[in-house]
Amino acid sequence: MRSLLVTLLLLATIAGCTSSEPLKDINSEGAGWVMFQHDLAHSGVAQEEVAPPLKLLWQAGTQAQIGYSSPVVADNLVLIGSTDWNLYAFDVATGRVMWKFPTGGEVHSTPAVADGKVYIGSYDGSLYALDLATGKKLWRYKTKGEILTSPAVAGGIVYFGSFDGSIIALNAENGKKLWEKKTKGQVHSSPAVADGRVFATSYHEYRIYALDAKTGKTLWSYETRGFIHASPAVYNGRVYIPSKDSFLYCLDAESGSELWRFETGAPIDSTPAIAKGRVYFGSYDGYVYAVDAETGEEVWKTEIGAQFIGSPIVSGNVVYIGALDGKLYAFSAESGEILWNYSIGNMIYSSPAVAKGLVFVSSLNGILYAFAPE
| Lowest-pLDDT range of 1-10, 23-32, 226-235, 314-323 | 1-10
**pTM greater than 0.85:** yes
The pLDDT of 343-372, averaged and rounded, is 96
CA dist 33 and 133 (Å) reads 16
pLDDT above 60 (res 26): no
What's the whole-number mean pLDDT along residues 273-296? 98
pLDDT: which is higher, 245 or 5: 245
Sequence-separated contacts (24+) of 119-122 with Cβ below 8 Å: 119/151, 119/153, 119/158, 119/160, 119/172, 120/81, 120/87, 120/151, 121/147, 121/148, 121/149, 121/150, 121/151, 121/160, 121/162, 122/81, 122/85, 122/146, 122/147
pLDDT at 214 over 70: yes
Predicted confidence (pLDDT) per residue in 36-93, tens digit: 999 999 999 999 999 999 999 999 999 899 988 999 999 999 999 999 999 999 999 9
Cβ neighbours around 294 below 10 Å, total: 15
Confidence of residue 345 (pLDDT cuts 50, 70, 90): confident
Domain boundaries, the chain: 2-373
Q: Which comes out higher in pLDDT, residue 2 or 172?
A: 172
How would DSSP label each residue in 6-47?
Answer: HHHHHHHT--SEEESS------TTS--B-STTSSTT---B-S
pLDDT in tens, 84-109: 999 999 999 999 999 999 999 999 99
Q: In CATH terms, is domain 2-373 a member of 3.30.70.270?
A: no
Mean pLDDT across the chain: 92
> CA-based Rg of the chain, rounded to a whole angstrom?
19
pLDDT at 31: 61
d(CA 360, CA 48): 14
How many helices (H) and strands (E) in the chain? 1, 33
pLDDT digits (tens, 9 = 90+) for 123-161: 999 999 999 999 999 999 999 999 999 999 999 999 999
Q: Contact at 8 Å (CB) between 200 and 209?
A: yes
